[in-house]
Amino acid sequence: AQKITQTQPGMFVQEKEAVTLDCTYDTSDPSYGLFWYKQPSSGEMIFLIYQGSYDQQNATEGRYSLNFQKARKSANLVISASQLGDSAMYFCAMRGVTSYGKLTFGQGTILTVHP
């Protein structure tokens, strides 16, 4: 079984600053993948970034990077140079090698970017 915990219900950041959204996970799977999704107020789920448990380097995608600390079971999302359009709900999710594809989601963090 997998469990994802996002302890920050809401976060605020000034435009152009960086922000870190926390995510911790628990799993007994030897191999797994970690994902972050963005859900703006319009409701769609947008894939942002992926990190594999055996990847040697932290994943980056444009302004998004994943701070993966395997020993601490954390997979924090870092957004650099925040923009107003980054205001949204952010979900951390994982799937293990025994999940049959199932994604387990955290509770989400609402990010608000102030001008």
Partner 1 sequence: DTAVSQTPKYLVTQMGNDKSIKCEQNLGHDTMYWYKQDSKKFLKIMFSYNNKELIINETVPNRFSPKSPDKAHLNLHINSLELGDSAVYFCASSEGLFRADTQYFGPGTRLTVL
Choice from 41, 56, 85, 101 touching partner 1 (CB under 8 A): 101
In the bound state with partner 1, the residue whose beta carbon lies nearer, of 31 and 112, is: 31
Token duo for residue 69 = 């600390």
Residue from 49, 26, 5, 35 nearest 101 by CA: 35
Tell me whether residue 28 or residue 115 sits nearer to partner 1 (CB atom): 28
Tell me how far the alpha carbon of residue 50 is from its chain's centroid: 9
List 23, 35, 77, 113, residue binding partner 1 (CB under 8 A): 35
Q: Return the number of the residue (79 or 108) whose C-beta is nearest partner 1.
A: 108
